[in-house]
Structure 1
Amino acid sequence: MTSPALSVLDLVPVRTAQTTGQALAATRSLARVADDLGYRRYWLAEHHNMPAVAATNPPVLVAMVAAATERIRVGSGGVMLPNHAPLVVAEQFALLEAAYPGRIDLGIGRAPGTDPLTSFALRHGAGGVTDDAVGQFPRYVEDVVAMMSPDGVAMQVAGRVQALRATPRAASSAELWLLGSSDFSARLAAERGLPYVFAHHFSGRGTAEALELYRSGYQPSERYPEPRTFLTVNAVVAETQDEARRRALPNLLTMVALRTGQPLSAQPTIDEAEARGVPDEHRALAEQMNARWVVGTPEEAAKQVTDLATRYDVDEVMLHPIAGAYAETPADRSPYREETLRLLAGAL
């Protein structure tokens, strides 16, 4: 198999003593590196009310990254549709596609991406989202697709039919992807003839089953006659295995805290993470998670990425570069995340 294309998933991490503005500056720098290296796409996540994540608003981040780059596709990984009115999402990504034609992806998920309190505030703060937003997910997906199309969607109001368009004169529409960590979105994407991505970087389990379900049940659509998918994976690449493991430790501790219900904080620096260490009672969980990540030298990482692409029969791998930083690292940069992209691209 030839080397897979590479892409990037970014949660805009916030580390100790780093402001949101500095984290955003680091993301712009990382995106420019990905663009210069020929990475295929750059996606930004949606998470709310998390001390270590600044990716709260994908459309704003997509606009920021698209403006800072020249070639790479930029998109959401993803917009959590139950949190938003479908028309708002359609309008946002119709405008982004108009501003950056042929470069915008709209990845959609149905998870809340946050805690129950924040979810309530998102869905009810403006009174515009129903209690059954998750249950309405399939219809909301249809609405977004229709509204972003040049013809829009016809709606009957007060006895007369009226067109509803996300933007007045669309010449193209963003590529829409369904995202998921269970088989629900795999089935829905197959039924609707849409591209699909399983969140392998998040769980690492059920990937083969979800992709088989998607491919075997795929119903061709006009825009997507063949199923389209790729793989996501957490990655840290350094010149030595030991250094790669050190750089992975801050994210590992953050994920252990998340999975075990501990209080969350800004992501620790490498120095802080080494001083803290993995609690003995959570060491097995940490090792289990770390085993599913790509952590190693350029040659080791390139082999792991190629093996993953072969195992799951994909021609693209989206890296979530999770390398941490030392206390003395400039606050507006993430040099080891950038180095992960450079070293892996050079080794493939």
Structure 2
Amino acid sequence: MTTLLNSAPNPPGTPTGDRPLTLSVLDLIPVRGGQTTAEALRATIALAQAAEAAGVHRYWVAEHHNMAAVASTNPPVLIAILAAATARMKIGSGGMMLPNHAPLVVAEQFALLEAAHPGRIDLGIGRAPGSDPVTSYALRHNGPETADANRFDEVVDNVLAMLEPEGVGLQVQGRSYPLRATPQAVGVPEVWLLGSSDYSARLAAAKGLPYVFAHHFSGEGTAQIMDLYRSGFRPSELLAAPKTFLTVNVVVAETQEEAERLARPQLLAMVALRTGGELKAQLSVEEAERTVLAESHAALAEQMRTRWVIGTPDTALAELTALATRFGVDEVMVHPVAGSSESDPADRSPAREATLQLLARAAARR
């Protein structure tokens, strides 16, 4: 299969211009009606392998809990599965939600992943819970107080320190107690801060860390947030200059009509999420076609749809390139949200795979 022209980002901060666009992937591991978790996982493994064949630079999995349509609950486990099933792509979390985890546990997990797949692991960190309040309570269950938003800065520092090969020293009864995430580390994963508001942008800038704004989810204020990050950036030992990219919901098909049709299941799911509707396993394309959207929700659906890239290979690639130029990035992380037809095999996502393959072919023609 034709690969994308550019498999690694251009230098940070340089405009895209006529240079080929670097594409990465965000995967929530959707679960559709009649599909088991095992089948959804096999579909994601196939998607990751298709992404690598297409020249995708990095592949991230999200952290969401107790959602009928999302199987991406445990990023470290998923990263281990996907890194073992691929050979070159960077694999990471988009992201690990620190309110749910003790810093040492995160450091241990990602130190081991980095040891197993050196140079290929990204640790994206977020401060949202990724779940509803009841599920959040069940996740934490008298655990460490990492859910305190006022302590997020401190928790990030703890993770960064515990990832260092030399470890940290904890003061216990007047003595220093050595603590290492893994006995003999020779490298560390690349750490990113993620966010959908200005808080994480300011924090990433202050700490000299890479930063990603959730444009695919929020879509408002992206330029201002990126400007805030870049203008406030302080160089660090980890990063000399600002480093960021764009995330976008994407559906690509041979025709515009088919792309719109494939996008409808996810669009209906997002409308339900934003309006307090019932969250169910993802509808098939045929079920979505038969579903009548409430007139009161039509404006919301259209508002969300305008922020997505839905189109033919050439028009979609042109839109992604224009977005990259607008926001001054050379890497775009696509969230392939094309739905599945009732006739599709349960362990594959043909339309999501096609989104990446069609973009790769369009890029090769440029």
Tell me, yes or no, whether TM beats 0.5: yes
**Which secondary structure does the structure 2 equivalent of 1:136 belong to?**
helix
Aligned ranges 1:235-246 → 2 under 5 Å = 235-246=250-261
**Are the counterparts in 1 of residues 99 and 146 from structure 2 also a CA contact under 8 Å?**
no
1:213-292 aligned at under 5 Å gives the runs: 213-292=228-307
Residues 1:75 and 2:92 are matched in the alignment: yes
Distance (whole Å) between structure 2 residues aligned to residue 132 and residue 49 of structure 1: 18
Q: CA RMSD in A?
A: 0.8
1:8 paired with 2:4, answer: no
Letter in 2 for 1:82: P
* Structure 1 match to 2:341: 326
Question: What does the per-residue CA deviation read over 1:118-175, in whole Å, with 9 as the maximum and x for residues that have no partner?
Answer: 0111112xx3222753321111111111101111111101110022111110000000
- Matched residues in 2 for 1:145 and 1:224: separation? 13
- Seen in structure 2, the aligned counterparts of structure 1 residues 195 and 12 have a Cα distance that, compared at 3 Å, is same
Rounded to whole Å, the distance in 1 between the matches of 2:126 and 2:166 is 25
Q: Distance in 2 between matches of 1:217 and 1:323?
A: 37
Q: Paired residue for 2:126? A: 109
Distance across 1 between alignment mates of 2:149 and 2:284: 36
Residue 189 of structure 2 is aligned to residue 210 of structure 1? no
2:331 maps to which of 316, 321, 324? 316
Question: Given residue 35 of structure 2, which amino acid in structure 1 is its aligned partner?
Answer: Q
Q: 1:316 to 1:22 in 2, by over 3 A?
A: same
User: Structure 2: which 5+ runs fail to align?
Assistant: 1-16
Q: Is 1:166 the equivalent of 2:186? A: no
State the distance in 1 between where 2:163 and 2:147 align: 23
TM-score w.r.t. length of structure 1 = 0.98
| 1:52 corresponds to | 69
Q: Which residue matches 1:88? A: 105
Indicate the residue corresponding to 2:79 in structure 1.
62
The residue identity in structure 1 corresponding to 2:303 is Q
Please name the residue that 2:7 is paired with. Answer: none
- State the 1:3 CA deviation: 2.3
Higher relative contact order structure (alpha carbons within 8 Å, sequence separation ≥ 6):
2
Unaligned runs of 5+ in 1: none
Specify the SS of the correspondent of 2:276: coil
Query: Aligned equivalents of 1:200 and 1:50: distance in 2?
Result: 21
User: Over residues 309-344 of structure 1, what are the superposed CA-to-partner deviations in whole Å (9 max), with x where a residue is unaligned?
Assistant: 000000100000000011111000000000000011
1:42 aligns with 2:51: no
The answer as to whether partners of 2:100 and 2:147 remain within 8 angstroms in 1 is no
- Asked whether the equivalents of residues 83 and 133 of structure 1 are also in contact (C-alpha less than 8 Å), the reply is no
Please give the alpha-carbon distance, in whole angstroms, between the structure 1 residues aligned to 2:192 and 2:124. Answer: 5
Q: For 1:178, which of 193, 197, 213 is the aligned residue?
A: 193
SS in 2 for 1:203: coil
Question: What is the distance in 2 between the residues matched to 1:337 and 1:277?
Answer: 24
TM-score (norm. length: structure 2):
0.93
- Structure 2 contact 146–152 (Cα < 8 Å) conserved: no
Structure 1 residue aligned with 2:6: none
Q: Aligned partner of 2:29: which letter?
A: V
Secondary structure at the residue paired with 1:320?
strand
Runs of 4+ in structure 1 off by over 3 angstroms are: none
Task: Give the Cα–Cα distance (whole angstroms) in 1 for the partners of residues 322 and 92 of structure 2.
Answer: 26
Counterpart of 2:210 (choices 195, 198, 201) is 195
CA distance in 2, matches of 1:243, 1:300: 14
Change (3 A) 1:336 1:215: same
Residue of structure 2 in register with 1:26 after alignment: 43
Structure 1 residues 131 and 103, CA, compared in 2 at 3 Å: closer, same or farther? Answer: closer
What are the superposed Cα offsets for residues 163-188 of structure 1, whole Å, 9 maximum, x if unpaired?
Answer: 21111100000000000000000000
Residue identity matched to 2:172: V
Q: Secondary structure at the match of 1:231?
A: strand
CA distance in 1, matches of 2:247, 2:146: 31
Aligned partner of 2:351 among 305, 311, 336 = 336
Partner of 1:142: 157
Q: Alignment partner of 1:333: what SS?
A: coil
Deviations, residues 202-243 of structure 1 (Å, cap 9, x unaligned): 011011111000000000011200110000000000000000
